[in-house]
């Protein structure tokens, strides 16, 4: 099925980013997986070519184009080559919008230019050891004292946690107010009292640096308050649909990549004198996965179009996120089975896809939370 989502400009952008990924990422990603981190110079190379902060105004060095299709292309191309460690999606799709929507002019001038060049890498710190999906249950506090806030607490599972230079941190400025007492702060690399824990060892996404962060009386200047105090929960909820759409884009692309790899394997691998894809059971499985992947692609593309028009709702983003990520888990698992013993070997791409897929149903809101969002939209 042909996709009609993209114009010629998008196709040119895809070709350019695909060449960049083939030259600067694909040959090195395996060693980055062993190192547990992506080198910072890759970010600066991407920034120099205009692949970061695509919707930031040109005066700050961004692309100046408010079109999520470009973001989707970056995610799809990284997924296609299995470059799950490169955190451009978190930087472009998740963190950058907070700066663009809630930072004042002075803050934008301070932070956006180096975000666009890749000199400064971003992260968003919401999750705590005892507060994941329940953001209102977070324990980190920020106490106002004259011209600064004192930030205390801990965050965990933070993507880009080691590499990050600017971290959007959610903390309670009014603990008695529940979710209405949450505010957002920008913590900068090198601030006294801010330390990073270990680079967490995960079952997948091996090249992606995921860390614990600790804040011990970190003095945050009032100039680093992002938006208005007490509006943090609202800001987080407003930005989550794009984050969830970004995850759905990755999931749909992962399904397509896994299926393409497996179809080729089933054409080449023979058993009992014929390609294994010719056995009816295997052929039916491939037919089912192909159909479901096409359905997922159509829905995700529609969500991208709706998002570009400012019409993507939180329930629709939740549908896209839970459906595509659960499909990804199922498709990749079936593809491993069709590979047989080879599917369990890390030298085959499908094995890595299997390990990388599992977190998709967890971060950005678990499948259960997605269903809760959808269910509440039905009036329950």
246: domain CATH number is 1.20.140.10
CA–CA separation, 239 vs 99, rounded Å?
11
CA–CA separation, 356 vs 334, rounded Å?
15
Low-confidence stretches of the chain (pLDDT beneath 50): none
Does the predicted TM-score (pTM) go above 0.85? yes
Residue that terminates a domain, selected from 90, 120, 150: 120
Same structural domain, 271 and 346: yes
Same structural domain, 164 and 213: yes
Same structural domain, 183 and 91: no
For the segment 302-322, what is each residue's pLDDT rounded down to a tens digit? 999 999 999 999 999 999 999
Residue 56 backbone zone (phi > 0: left; psi -120 to 50: alpha; other: beta) = beta
Check residue 135 and give its pLDDT: 79
* Residue 243 burial (10 A CB sphere; 0-12, 13-18, 19+): buried
CA–CA separation, 128 vs 312, rounded Å?
28
Contact 67, 308 (CB under 8 A): yes
Q: Which two tokens stand for residue 101?
A: 């929507």
How many angstroms separate the Cα of 277 from the Cα of each of 26, 332, 334?
Answer: 29, 16, 13
Q: Please tell me the total count of domains within the chain.
A: 3
Check residue 143 and give its pLDDT: 97
Q: Which two tokens stand for residue 187?
A: 């913590």
- In which domain, by residue range, is 350 found? 234-377
Same structural domain, 319 and 367: yes
* Four-point Cα dihedral 256, 262, 268, 272, nearest 10: -140
Check residue 240 and give its pLDDT: 94
Same structural domain, 155 and 246: no
Q: Look at the block and give the residue holding tokens 């971060």.
A: 363
Check residue 137 and give its pLDDT: 83
For the segment 233-242, what is each residue's pLDDT rounded down to a tens digit? 999 999 999 9
Same structural domain, 298 and 369: yes
Residue that terminates a domain, selected from 67, 88, 120: 120
DSSP 159-193: ETTTT-SEEEEEEES-GGGGGGGEEEEEEETT-TT
Same structural domain, 214 and 338: no
184 lies in some domain: yes
Q: Where would I find the beta strands (DSSP E) of the chain?
A: 122-125, 141-145, 148-159, 166-172, 182-188, 194-199, 210-221, 225-226, 270-271, 274-275
Same structural domain, 218 and 312: no
166 lies in some domain: yes
User: Of residues 76, 128, 243, 256, which has the active-site annotation?
Assistant: 243
298 lies in some domain: yes
**For the CA atoms of the chain, what is the radius of gyration?**
21
1 lies in some domain: no
Residue that terminates a domain, selected from 230, 263, 291: 230
Same structural domain, 166 and 270: no
Catalytic residue status for 33: no
CA–CA separation, 247 vs 359, rounded Å?
10
CATH number at residue 133: 2.40.110.10
Can you tell me whether residue 289 is helix, strand or coil?
helix
Q: Look at the block and give the residue holding tokens 């593309």.
A: 301
CATH number at residue 56: 1.10.540.10
Check residue 136 and give its pLDDT: 77
Same structural domain, 256 and 346: yes
Can you tell me whether residue 183 is helix, strand or coil?
strand
3 lies in some domain: no
63 lies in some domain: yes
Same structural domain, 254 and 369: yes
Same structural domain, 113 and 129: no
2 lies in some domain: no
Going by C-alpha positions, the residue among 141, 146, 147, 196 that lies closest to residue 167 is 196
Check residue 134 and give its pLDDT: 78
């Amino acid at each position: 099925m042909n996709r009609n989502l993209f114009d010629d400009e998008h196709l040119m952008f895809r070709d350019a980013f695909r060449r960049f990924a083939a030259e600067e990422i694909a040959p090195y990603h395996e060693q980055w997986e062993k190192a547990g981190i992506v080198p910072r110079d890759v970010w600066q190379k991407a920034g120099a070519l205009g692949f970061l902060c695509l919707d930031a105004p040109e005066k700050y060095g961004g692309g100046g184009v408010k079109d999520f299709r470009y973001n989707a292309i970056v995610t799809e191309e990284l997924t296609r080559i299995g470059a799950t460690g490169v955190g451009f999606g978190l930087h472009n799709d998740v963190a950058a919008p907070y700066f663009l929507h809630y930072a004042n002019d002075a803050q934008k001038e301070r932070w956006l230019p180096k975000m666009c060049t890749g000199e400064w890498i971003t992260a968003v710190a919401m999750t705590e050891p005892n507060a994941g999906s329940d953001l209102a249950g977070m324990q980190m506090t920020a106490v106002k004292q004259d011209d600064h806030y004192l930030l205390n607490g801990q965050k965990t599972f933070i993507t880009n946690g080691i590499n990050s230079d600017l971290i959007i941190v959610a903390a309670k400025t009014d603990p008695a107010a529940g979710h209405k007492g949450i505010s957002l702060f920008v913590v900068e690399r090198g601030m006294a009292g801010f330390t990073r824990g270990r680079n967490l060892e995960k079952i997948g996404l091996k090249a992606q640096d995921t860390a614990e962060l600790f804040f011990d009386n970190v003095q945050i200047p009032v100039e680093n308050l992002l938006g208005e105090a007490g509006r943090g929960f609202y800001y987080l909820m407003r930005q989550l649909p794009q984050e969830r759409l970004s995850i759905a884009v990755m999931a749909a692309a992962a399904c397509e990549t896994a299926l393409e790899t497996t179809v080729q394997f089933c054409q080449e691998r023979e058993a009992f004198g014929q390609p294994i894809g010719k056995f009816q059971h295997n052929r039916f499985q491939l037919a089912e996965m192909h159909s479901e992947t096409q359905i997922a692609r159509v829905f995700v593309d529609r969500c991208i179009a709706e998002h570009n028009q400012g019409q993507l709702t939180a329930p629709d983003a939740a549908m896209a996120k839970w459906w595509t990520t659960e499909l990804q888990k199922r498709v990749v698992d079936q593809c491993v089975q069709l590979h047989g013993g080879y599917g369990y070997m890390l030298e085959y791409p499908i094995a890595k896809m299997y390990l990388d897929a599992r977190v998709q149903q967890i971060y950005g809101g678990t499948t259960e939370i997605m269903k809760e969002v959808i269910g509440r939209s039905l009036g329950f």
